[in-house]
Structure 1
Amino acid sequence: MSELHFTSPDGVSLNLRLPEQPTDTVPDYRSSVSPHKPTYQHTERAYSLPLPAVPSPTTRPFGNPTPVGLGGFLLANTPATITLLGWRDAGGPNGNESAAIGTFFYLGCLLEILCGIGEWINGETFNAAVFLILGGYFGASGAVLVPFYNALNGYGTTGATTTTTTTTTAAAETAYHDSYAIFLIFMGVLLLFFTIASVRLDICHVVLFACFTVCFPCLATSYFYMADGNDASARTFRIWGGIFSLAGSVILWYLFLGSLLESVDFPYLLPVGDLSKYVKGRTEYLGRRRHKTSMSCGL
């Protein structure tokens, strides 16, 4: 009679006794379990590793800076949008935004930059990029309105062929409007990239960035018409830019309210149309492919 002996690393042993000739009887087998004694390496590893820290759900080292950035953007952009639309003669015939210098600097610029730094500390790269860049935009928009920076008078002698003050001023305004329009065009390109990236977030962010993507080219076209002296067309495109800016501001007020409700643990949250479950991330996609590859190799 032959015997087979199996032993596992955990101390489980199995002994089989097989007859020499095939029979209908059940083979005789015996099993035993020996206590597993941990080795020195196991004991040292178990007691030397520190216990993982248990995160507390009620305490956070820093607060969420998003409501601050959204509030600063709204208080700077919404009045400027009303100026573009010319409601109650705001902004005069040319949509002048000089009354918004303070809001551009201290609400749009300062709060956006502070919020962007907070998002960067929290590890939110996309939010940090959006808030920091928009904060810089508001700072630049406020700077060109301050006489100290001499934005308009810097073009006073460029392209002037006469010595009269009127001709020199007109040439300066033309060069200034054309130059500022180029800046607004590239702001539209930047917002287009934000729109593409926000497809991984939610519907509200996609529509928000899309509105401002259209707003900036409209404003740029308005400045081009102002440089050509076509005030009627300039006003038309300025109003269209204000309409898209107002649409984006309405969505932003909605997101601002949603962030405030979330910050106070409100029982109901506003829906934003989550898209992350439909547009999978790159790491998740590669993880699935790697998992499928390993399973196919194993089979």
Structure 2
Amino acid sequence: MAVFIIYGCHWGSLAYTQDPFYNQLSAFGTGGSAGAEWNASQGFHNITMVLVSFTFLVATFRVNAFFVATFFGLVMMFSFIAAADFAVPNVKTAADLEHVGLLLKIGGGFGWLGLLSGWYLAILTACAAVGIPCPLPVLDLSGAFKKDHEHKA
């Protein structure tokens, strides 16, 4: 539930800030969407999502490989989008603009990894919930990291 609430709020806030009706850019000086202030705010927002996604990534190491792939994809996606946000104010040439575009494309590729593995898990979960046999592998990692119960201080 926490994951759905956090990511839902993220995408909702992103939609709100990008909607021209609310005129969010007016609070960030004369640079508009190419200005350092606006892009820094977007970059730090994405860095926050990197930290949140990384926390979930670490928590999934004992669940299954598709959860790991989902959150790894999200960590990388938000990282590359943040890098692009911080690079936008420094665009002076076509090569600089191409670099920002490349960062966004790489981030989008990692986003696809997260999306595909997330939908894979959603299909498996939906099938399990209604009793439909689904022969697809889950790649369980629950036994990959053993707890040492015998450790004595």
Under a length normalisation based on structure 1, what TM-score does the superposition of the two structures give?
0.46
**Residue 280 (structure 1) shift:** 4.3
1:278 to 135, 144, 153: 144
Higher relative contact order (CA 8 A, sep 6+): 2
Distance 1:256 1:248 in 2: 12
Under a length normalisation based on structure 2, what TM-score does the superposition of the two structures give?
0.85
Distance 1:217 1:235 in 2: 14
Stretches of structure 2 lacking an aligned partner (at least 5 in a row):
none
Change (3 A) 1:210 1:175: same
Residue 139 of structure 1 aligns with which residue? Answer: 12
**Residue 135 (structure 1) shift:** 1.1
One-letter code aligned to 2:82: A
One-letter code aligned to 1:228: N
Superposed, which structure 2 residues align to 1:138-157 within 5 Å? 138-156=11-29
2:129 to 256, 259, 263: 263
2:108 to 242, 246, 251: 242
Residue 205 of structure 1 aligns with which residue? Answer: 67
Superposed, which structure 2 residues align to 1:80-119 within 5 Å? none
Superposed, which structure 2 residues align to 1:204-243 within 5 Å? 204-229=66-91, 230-243=96-109
**Residue 289 (structure 1) shift:** 4.3
Change (3 A) 1:227 1:278: same
Fraction of identical pairs, as percent: 28
The answer to whether the Cα contact below 8 Å between 1:262 and 1:269 also exists between their aligned partners in 2 is no
**Residue 244 (structure 1) shift:** 0.4
The answer to whether the Cα contact below 8 Å between 2:124 and 2:134 also exists between their aligned partners in 1 is no
RMSD (CA atoms): 2.2
- Tell me, yes or no, if structure 1 residue 130 matches structure 2 residue 3: yes
Q: Secondary structure at the match of 1:271?
A: coil
Change (3 A) 1:266 1:181: same
Runs of 4+ residues deviating >3 angstroms:
169-172
Stretches of structure 1 lacking an aligned partner (at least 5 in a row):
1-127, 157-167, 293-299
Quick check: which has more Rg, 1 or 2?
1
- Tell me, yes or no, if structure 1 residue 254 matches structure 2 residue 120: yes
